[in-house]
């Protein structure tokens, strides 16, 4: 999307360190995006834990940027009828604690597969139409998961120490 944004992704001691800059794309006159992705590889596909009995996911993370507002998390490969060309998977906003590791709970009802591929913002939400909510096939194996910095210009520095299901009928981690 213009190649103006830059990022670096490292995992050290089991902690994701996602840094970079989400820049303005001159041709769009809007911020681009950067991502940290797991599960997508030409040679290897990861199998994710079945979270279909859970209420949502919990993320333990720390923001070093004094409140960057464009963090998002996505999973899966769903694409709704009429959805944007480059928009794939279920996505939700991510609001990490600034300066210290903190726990965020994001209910699956906050995710939608009908989002704007230029901004990352939802066009239609799961709460307004359940057909945009994560489906059981995706929740049984997400296939891919991404942390995004998108649609907001600025410096990005996020560390993630864990992602797990919560409100599950069984122990899911």
Q: What is the pLDDT of residues 32-46, one digit of tens each?
A: 899 999 876 656 667
Q: Considering the entire predicted model, what is its pTM? A: 0.91
Of all residues in the chain, the percent with pLDDT exceeding 90 is: 72
Q: What is the pLDDT of residues 100-144, one digit of tens each?
A: 999 999 999 999 999 988 888 999 999 999 999 999 999 999 999
> Buried b vs exposed e over 8-24: b needs ≥16 C-beta within 10 Å?
eeeeeeeebbbbbbbbe
Residue 112 in tokens? 């939608």
Give the ranges where the chain is alpha helix by DSSP (H).
Answer: 136-140
Residue 113 in tokens? 């597969």
Look at residue 22 in the predicted model and tell me its pLDDT: 94
Identify any residues that bridge with 122 across adjacent strands, giving them in sequence order.
Answer: 115
């Amino acid at each position: 999307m213009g190649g103006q944004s830059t990022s670096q992704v490292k995992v050290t001691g089991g902690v994701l360190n996602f840094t970079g800059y989400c820049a303005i794309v001159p041709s769009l006159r809007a911020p681009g995006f950067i991502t940290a992705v797991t599960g997508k590889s030409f040679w290897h596909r990861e199998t994710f834990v079945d979270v279909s009995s859970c209420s949502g996911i919990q993320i333990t993370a720390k923001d070093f940027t004094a409140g960057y507002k464009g963090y998002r998390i996505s999973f899966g490969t769903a694409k709704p009828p009429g959805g944007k060309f480059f928009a794939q998977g279920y996505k939700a906003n991510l609001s990490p604690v600034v300066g210290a590791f903190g726990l965020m709970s994001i209910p699956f009802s906050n995710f939608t597969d009908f989002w704007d591929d230029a901004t990352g913002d939802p066009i239609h939400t799961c709460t307004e139409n359940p057909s945009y909510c994560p489906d059981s096939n995706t929740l049984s194996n997400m296939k891919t998961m991404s942390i995004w910095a998108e649609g907001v210009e600025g410096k990005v520095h996020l560390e993630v120490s864990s992602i797990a299901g919560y409100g599950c009928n069984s122990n899911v981690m």
